[in-house]
Structure 1
Amino acid sequence: MGMRAAIVVGATGLTGTSLVEQLCENDEYVSVTVIARRAPAFTHPKLEVKIRNLDTLEEKDIELANELYCCLGTTIKKAGSREQFEKVDFEYPLTIASLAKKRGIPHMLVITAMGANEKSPFYYNRVKGKLEHDLMELGLQRLSIIRPSLLVGEREEFRLGEKAGEKVLKLAKPLLVGPLKRSRAIEASQVAKAMIVIALYGNKQPVTIYPSQELAQLDFPETQNEDVSRENIFNWKKRKLSSISDEEDKVNQEVVINRDKYKIEETVVDKEVNFQHRRDK
């Protein structure tokens, strides 16, 4: 069993909900902290929920952790305006990343979108591309950019456009082969699992971009079960403090932007890690 701590922002959305559940069930994590405006329905002994207004989030609200997972995202229709959409999809993630950098969190994983490009003719993709660009400029120790295609799964709210797109892509799936395979819809639960796989075993480059077709194939490597005592399994606080104290000496506490030292790689995993890849159904 590991001794990792994670922070999740955007935990009440489709991917975030699944991510929190999977993190709590993963033996590598002993502590999962959610920062949200409302509490998720899911509860677990490992889970701590901090109810916060993201407009007034401060450095003290960000605890030390091994990973910060950002699953924030909305639509213009739900947000009510482009200004509010950009606040959720651009301003909040960038602010949170800056606070995490100052706090010394060594790895941020953020969901953007397939086609993210600050020069895209499409507004949504431009915003996502601008977010990616500014996160890279921030100089995080390690940044993993998650670019899923259309996310499918059971949402709390009904989104007509996404439901229609989901049906179209489902019918077209047999035709989406070769380069078109990247456009296949992807289960939000699979994206959540892929994010954990990336956190534990992924590329250690400062910036790595993970496209949707790669996310769809990621799975955990085979591991042997570790024999641990019941006391250690349920002593979350003791294990969390031990884990985080080890990380404190490894990270840079200063916010320094040095674009030249960053190499962006569109690759998924280190060669020495043998993953089990899912087979398309």
Structure 2
Amino acid sequence: MQRKAIVIGATGLVGQYLVKQLSEIYDTLIVIARRPLRYINASIHFYQVNDFDNLAEICANIGADQNTDAFSCLGTTRKLAGSDEAFRKVDHDYNVSFAKLCREKGVENFFLLSAMNNDIDSRFLYNRVKAETEQSIRALGFKQLLIFRPSLLLGKHKGRTLENVSQNIFKVFSPLVPESLSIHPISARRVASAMTMSANNLYERRKFQSADLPSTTSIIENKQMLAMTRVKH
């Protein structure tokens, strides 16, 4: 059986690495994005959209089914979005809409890029919306829901001055901060690798399992991603 996946958030910091890695293990990779991809190969089927409000129209013509894995790396910041409402629309509404459309097509496995320190009762909009998004997608009943919660992402963030400054500070002190600490920053490439490895592990389990895997929601915290992607010398 051919492997198929669908991705949104493919041009972001993690998404651009994820697309390249997934294209190496999936026979067909459907990518929906507003901007052209930096990387393309024969397995990638690219659909460009002007607005994610039209996501349903795009998904209606895409051959996603129960044998398709869905990935979302879609996200923004309050500053880039321009308002609380616009930020929530991207980080919550678009993600949940995508997940619902995938579920309606029979997709059983969903991989969500979230963030560390989510809290539905947080006074911080970012943490609160991330928690709400996780909660909304949990309610859709995917057989396998994998949620990835990285710490500070290392990589060049366009338009994210504060995060770029934080990264520069970290580079000075990084030799003193062991990866065993959960707050240790993680590169976008390693987060993408953790998502890809998790998808491959799930595929191998399903392939050799005589019965269906039980429905589960798995939280992959930052510390776990650091451990599973650590280069062994």
TM-score class, shorter: 0.7 to 0.9
- Equivalent position of 1:188 in the other structure: 188
- Equivalent position of 2:16 in the other structure: 17
TM-score by length of 2: 0.86
Moved beyond 6 Å, runs of 4+: none
Distance 1:174 1:69, change over 3 A: same
* 8 Å contact kept, 2:3–2:28: yes
Residue type of the alignment partner of 1:94: V
CA shift for structure 1 position 140: 1.5
- 1:33 aligned residue (30, 33, 57): 30
TM-score by length of 1: 0.72
Higher alpha-carbon deviation: 61-70 or 209-218: 61-70
Residue 44 of structure 2 is aligned to residue 47 of structure 1: yes
* 8 Å contact kept, 2:178–2:184: no
- Equivalent position of 1:4 in the other structure: 3
- Equivalent position of 2:165 in the other structure: 164
Equivalent-residue separation in structure 1 for 2:61 and 2:73 (angstroms): 17
* 8 Å contact kept, 1:118–1:130: yes
Distance 1:278 1:178, change over 3 A: closer
For structure 2, the 5+ residue unaligned runs are 206-212
Residue type of the alignment partner of 1:92: Y
Residue type of the alignment partner of 2:4: A
For structure 1, the 5+ residue unaligned runs are 220-276
* Cα RMSD (Å): 2.1
Residue type of the alignment partner of 1:29: Y
> What SS class does the counterpart of residue 227 from structure 2 fall into?
coil
> What SS class does the counterpart of residue 36 from structure 2 fall into?
coil
Larger radius of gyration: 1
> What SS class does the counterpart of residue 278 from structure 1 fall into?
coil
> What SS class does the counterpart of residue 94 from structure 1 fall into?
helix
- 1:1-281 maps to which residues of 2 (within 5 A)? 3-24=2-23, 26=24, 28-52=25-49, 53-58=51-56, 59-64=59-64, 65-155=67-157, 157-177=158-178, 181-202=181-202, 205-219=215-229, 277-279=230-232
- What are the Cα deviations for residues 232-277 of structure 1, in whole angstroms up to 9, with x where unaligned? xxxxxxxxxxxxxxxxxxxxxxxxxxxxxxxxxxxxxxxxxxxxx5
Aligned pair count reads: 218
* 8 Å contact kept, 1:62–1:103: no
CA shift for structure 1 position 31: 0.9
Residue type of the alignment partner of 1:184: H
- What are the Cα deviations for residues 93-132 of structure 1, in whole angstroms up to 9, with x where unaligned? 0011111111011111011101111112322101101111
Residue type of the alignment partner of 1:197: M
- Equivalent position of 2:208 in the other structure: none
Equivalent-residue separation in structure 1 for 2:179 and 2:161 (angstroms): 29
Equivalent-residue separation in structure 2 for 1:102 and 1:120 (angstroms): 31
- What are the Cα deviations for residues 4-59 of structure 1, in whole angstroms up to 9, with x where unaligned? 111110111111011111112x2x31111101122213221111111223102214
